[in-house]
Structure 1
Amino acid sequence: MVFLNNKILTERRSFFAHRFSMQKSVRQTLLMGTLLLATFVSTTLLSSMSQAATTADQWLIRFADAMYSYHYSGVLVYSREGQLDTVELSHDVSEAGEEARLSYLDGIPREFLQRGNQITQKISGETVASDRIHGRNPSGRFSGGLEQVKKYYQLQLKGQSRVVGRPSVVVEIIPRDNQRLGYRLWLDKESALLLKSVTLDPLSRELETFQFTSFAFTQRDKPLKKSDDKAAMPAASLPWLPEGFEVYMVKESVPVSETHLANMFSLSDGISTFSVFVEPLRADSLKEGVHQYGATVVVVRKVLNDNLAQMVTVVGEIPLHTARKVADAF
């Protein structure tokens, strides 16, 4: 997944937690559908200035501004682990908030809708999940500003290319350590909107790719004013976190199955995000193990502290060894 700031990325962590009470194909659909919205929907304010971009920093500033300056739509493909999905996406922003619609074009009809802070998933026309977006600047993309991001990532301009017949520039986001993933972005040269993204592991191997195969956009007469949420971070901490990651949202008693509730902690370093679910250990709890779906990893671990048995699940876009270390610290 790329580093775009999306207000529903954290909700896909919660929906992913439902995966063990659903048929596998359905639960993966919910995860990947919300992930796609997370990739191509909104960004956080980086800067109020609009300028001709000549550096990677300037292109990312243009990219952040573009989400409030254009309506766009198209068909894109999502590839990971040899699997390919085709989806149709439209996105707009108004004074009332964001509106986005993502529909799978293959297999069972599946659709994801966002209207303001409400996100809804439908399968064959039937609503299967719906929730509201909560918390401060959900997903934390660029939440600390560009200078904060640059403490943990190098930003490089990698030249020019073409995607879906349009001239583009390539920006690479390179981690300064092995505790986070890297990203390569193709931005439309005219609008600075995202045309393609590749997520890279610490060895620069491709984990997943998003790419438009058809793309259209229209410019607004007047760009919308962007909000800059200055709300305080939650007063919460975890036993161990990689440097730079902070808790930006805490939700108690999140439903993770039909009968289970968990406390959820969402974390970000300004680009990469992950969530931790902590719940009491039960006879029907999940089995310990690790899973990976493209760039998203899942680590499930049982822990015993002060005679209290708990289940810890780490879900997010971080390297597997990082997720394991977060879980093992409990």
Structure 2
Amino acid sequence: MKYKFFCKPFLIAVLAVIGTVQAKSQTPPSPQAPPSVESSFHSKNINDWLMRMHEASKSRTYVGTFVVSAGANMSSAKIWHVCEGEQLVERVESLTGAPRSVFRHNDLVMTFVPEQKILLKEKRESLGMFPDLLKSADSRIADFYEVKPDGVGRVAGVDADVVRLIPKDNLRFGYRIWVEKKNGLVVKLQTLNTKAQVLEQAAFSELQLGAPVKMDHLLQMMNKVEGYRVEQPMLIKTKASSEGWQLISPIPGFMPMSCYKRPPSGANTANASDPLQCTFSDGLASVSLFVEPYDAQRQDRESSMALGATQSMTRKLGAHLITVVGEVPMSTLQLFANALESKK
């Protein structure tokens, strides 16, 4: 089973180039430039400020090279991003590792794997786009994070204000964000551990704002599927309680966002043994719980690993294997794993 989780999905798309997440179409904001970071701290709460970044990511057209570094691992991709009214189209081309091309048109994501001639076609639901920090419009974000100015900087030739998102407890990581001064587009992002050390960094190494990107041209490229075997995974929306699972104690700040069954390729319906994925978010960070039948021949009873800001752990629970993945401290994943209980 390939685990896909929705913690800063665009960053994961660059790392693995397996897909990106598209926001549901919304009316673009006014072209009037937003207030500066300093003034926004006085006139807006944290949710309004985060939504300003979210809106900026939807309203700008650009071409850039994006680099993600996590420990000794580094990946890069070329991005073409265009907006016309409520329509958004994006192309992400991997520059490192195996060749991959990811196209996104609104909520449709198509991943081309040229070496295997496979095309993965799927629809995704999410509120946020790059850098998908904002998972919901839940005003409780301010209960768990505070935002502070952290100077100014320059990234890929763009002047930026720097801000810190500081967690109020040890259940989540913090962020340092470089925000384009004029319109609020995020150009660099660092994920910080509980000691404020950098776990992962993602930034544009070059960026051309207002680039002459043609939406029609990207859509034509996206529709060139001849010679590819199309795979379209089925996701069946459900609830954890409907599948016989529950969290016996809530994790502070983390609310249920989505829950899906993942039938095997070619299946038309889901059954009880199909993998289950439930995603929780505090508005910024996300955690995904995966449940699947335990197979002693190929699965460990317990394991854990970390790659940059991404932490994961597994544990055997009865006849099932539970995998918890997220960009949160390992102790938070442990809370989720210990709280999950079968009602059957």
TM-score by length of 2: 0.72
Q: SS where residue 68 of structure 1 aligns?
A: helix
The residue that corresponds to 2:337 in the other structure is: 327
Distance across 2 between alignment mates of 1:44 and 1:142: 15
Q: Please name the residue that 1:110 is paired with.
A: 100
Contact 2:152-2:160 at 8 Å conserved across structures: yes
Deviation at 1:113, TM superposition (A): 1.8
Distance 2:49 2:125 in 1: 29
Structure 1 residues 15-34: aligned runs within 5 Å: 32-34=16-18
1:239 aligns with 2:222: no
1:299 CA drift (Å)? 0.9
Residue-pair matches, total: 285
What is the RMSD of the two structures over their aligned residues, measured on CA atoms? 3.5
Report how far residue 122 of structure 1 moved.
Answer: 2.4
User: Based on CA coordinates, which of the two structures has the bigger radius of gyration?
Assistant: 2
1:76-95 alignment runs, 5 A limit:
76-94=66-84
Which residue of 138, 142, 145 corresponds with 1:150? 142
- After superposition, the Cα gap between the structure-2 partners of 1:323 and 1:97, relative to the gap in structure 1 and judged at 3 Å, is farther
Q: 2:258 aligns with which of 249, 257, 272?
A: 249
Q: What residue number does 1:293 align with?
A: 307
> Take 1:92 and 1:109, find their aligned partners in 2: how far apart are those partners?
22
Choose 198-207 or 114-123, whichever is displaced more.
114-123
Tell me which of 313, 316, 324 is aligned to 2:326: 316
| Residues 139-184 of structure 1 deviation map (CA, whole Å, 9 limit, x = unaligned) | 7825134x32111101111121111122110111111101011111
**CA contact 1:276–1:313 (8 Å) conserved in 2:** yes
Equivalent residues in 2 for 1:175-324, closer than 5 Å: 175-218=167-210, 236=241, 237-255=246-264, 261-287=274-300, 288-304=302-318, 309-324=319-334
In the other structure, the counterpart of 1:229 is none
Structure 1, unmatched stretches of 5+, are 1-10, 15-27, 221-232
Q: What SS is found at the alignment partner of 1:195? A: strand
2:70/2:200 contact within 8 Å kept: yes
Change (3 A) 1:188 1:29: closer
Cα 1:328–1:215 change in 2 (3 A) is same
Using the TM superposition, give the Cα deviation of residue 44 of structure 1 relative to its aligned residue in structure 2, in angstroms. Answer: 9.9
The letter for the 2-side match of 1:55 is S
TM value normalised by structure 1: 0.75
Is residue 43–residue 64 contact of structure 1 (8 Å, CA) maintained in 2? no
CA distance in 1, matches of 2:279, 2:86: 26
Q: 1:33, CA displacement in angstroms?
A: 2.5
Letter paired with 1:291: M
Q: Percent identity?
A: 25
Structure 1 counterpart of 2:134 = 141
- Indicate conservation of the 8 Å contact 1:44/1:141, yes or no: no
Q: Distance in 1 between matches of 2:325 and 2:240?
A: 21
Residue 210 of structure 2: SS of its match in structure 1? strand
1:127 aligns to 2:153 (yes or no): no
